[in-house]
A and B are shown apart, each in its own frame.
Chain A
Amino acid sequence: MLRLGREWRSGRHVSAYEEGLHVLITQGLQGDTAAYRQFLDRLGGMFRTFFRRKLRSEDVAHAEDLVQETLLAIHLHRHSYDPSRRITAWVYAIARYKLIDHYRRSPTSRQFVPVDDIDDLFSGDVADATDPARDIAALLKHLPAKQSTAIRLVKLEELTSKEAAQRMGVSEADVKISLHRGLKKLMALSASKDVA
């Protein structure tokens, strides 16, 4: 019954690109940090091309912001990816959601959002990353102290959550919860216009 709804990967033609990404995300979800890093890295390149193509020229400065917002959203929703489905469809659904959200937020740049076949968009072109207009690190100061400390220690200073827990004097689970909540909040903040 449930099979009807699924876009089964087997028995359908999948591109080499899809295949490569799928291997990386599957390993990444099993806890392979290097594969997960490589996965996000490839997505960064894909989305940079995607957003630069979709944004108007005067709006292109926001491309890097959208890349970062999308990567953050993908990271926070990674548990909802089902490995029996296409990973490219899943990640582009999020990228497109972020793009449409961006159009809504900036009424001056309202434009037609084509729902074209994502297969056209595959490109190995990884242009140089430009500086984002909004600095995610600067957004940290808008978070509660505990959340921003957890993010700073674990994500930026690269301590393990255990070490961070000792440093902060709280439990490891507490650090993980603060991390998750903090990243979620960061995603919401980076999507809102009022915060510079």
Chain B
Amino acid sequence: MKTDRLIDALAHDTGATPRYVAERRLAIAGIAGLAVAFAMVVTVFGVREDFGSSLTIVLLKAAFGVVALAAALPLLLELARPNTTARRAAAPAALFAAASAAIAMGAFLLTPPEARMNAWVGGGMPECLYRIPLLAIPIAVALFLAVRGLGPTRLTLAGAAIGGVSGSIAAIAYSSCCQMDTALYVASWYLAAILFCSAVGAVVIGRALKW
């Protein structure tokens, strides 16, 4: 078939195309993912027992996730579609990671030395390191399905963005069952968990996105 003929064929009977398809798909996937993650928190981990009396601190920790989400979202919106450069969109995410690391460092220095270890790792291994990535899986699957049809061209970066956004949304859900209330803990381990999601996303989702 000659190219002219193909063009005729493609342009024939092509109706109007809806706008904001990418934004809408990502919003639906994100909200659905958040709902599933919340359901998992309630059924699998259980909301913390003192949820009522510790609402303020829970909301503060959820806010960390919200800010992380706001920082990672521009990158995902950019990389979800055919794209040549994402440098500008990466600025908020980089800024957030740096600020979070700085907060962790500051909190570490401000905590009295004898209380440090307890404030930092709690008892043993920080649970959020595996719980946030676990919660992020259904969110990442939903986002992957949303992004797949949008024609991403930087697949590894798009996978990392999906991972980062999933991790951020998972952190919002996780905050309602997390028992550790220090800034040191949240700024270091929540960030580490989100970055881990991002790294796994780059490898796993990045490959799966190929079209």
Which A residues contact B (CB, under 8 angstroms)? 1-2, 4-7, 28-31, 33, 36-37, 40-41, 44, 48, 64, 67-68, 71-73, 75-83, 89-94, 96-97, 118, 129, 131-132, 135-137, 151, 154-156, 158, 160-161, 183, 188
Interface residues contributed by chain B, number (CB under 8 Å): 43
The A/B interface has a contact count, at CB < 8 Å, of: 139
Q: B20: which A residues are within 8 A, CB to CB?
A: 82
Please determine whether A1 and B73 come into contact, CB atoms closer than 8 angstroms: yes
Please determine whether A5 and B89 come into contact, CB atoms closer than 8 angstroms: yes
Please determine whether A136 and B151 come into contact, CB atoms closer than 8 angstroms: no
Bound CA span A132–B21, Å? 33
CB of A15, distance to nearest CB on chain B (Å): 15
Quick one: which of B7, B83, B84 contacts A71, CB cutoff 8 A? B7
Q: B9: which A residues are within 8 A, CB to CB?
A: 151, 155-156
| Contacts known (A1-B73, A80-B150, A132-B3); A33 close to B11, Cβ less than 8 A | yes
Bound CA span A118–B91, Å? 23
Please determine whether A4 and B89 come into contact, CB atoms closer than 8 angstroms: yes
Most buried by A among B7, B15, B20, B83: B7
Please determine whether A29 and B89 come into contact, CB atoms closer than 8 angstroms: no
B1 close to A (CB within 8 Å): yes
Q: A2: which B residues are within 8 A, CB to CB?
A: 73-74, 77
Secondary structure of the A contact surface, majority rule: helix
Bound CA span A92–B153, Å? 10
Quick one: which of B11, B88, B92, B151 contacts A77, CB cutoff 8 A? B151
Q: A93: which B residues are within 8 A, CB to CB?
A: 82-84, 153
Please determine whether B7 and A37 come into contact, CB atoms closer than 8 angstroms: yes
Quick one: which of B13, B16, B91, B153 contacts A160, CB cutoff 8 A? B13
Please determine whether B8 and A137 come into contact, CB atoms closer than 8 angstroms: no
Please determine whether B2 and A129 come into contact, CB atoms closer than 8 angstroms: yes
Please determine whether A68 and B88 come into contact, CB atoms closer than 8 angstroms: no
Q: A7: which B residues are within 8 A, CB to CB?
A: 85, 88
B203 close to A (CB within 8 Å): no
Bound CA span A78–B81, Å? 10
B37 close to A (CB within 8 Å): no
Please determine whether B84 and A80 come into contact, CB atoms closer than 8 angstroms: no
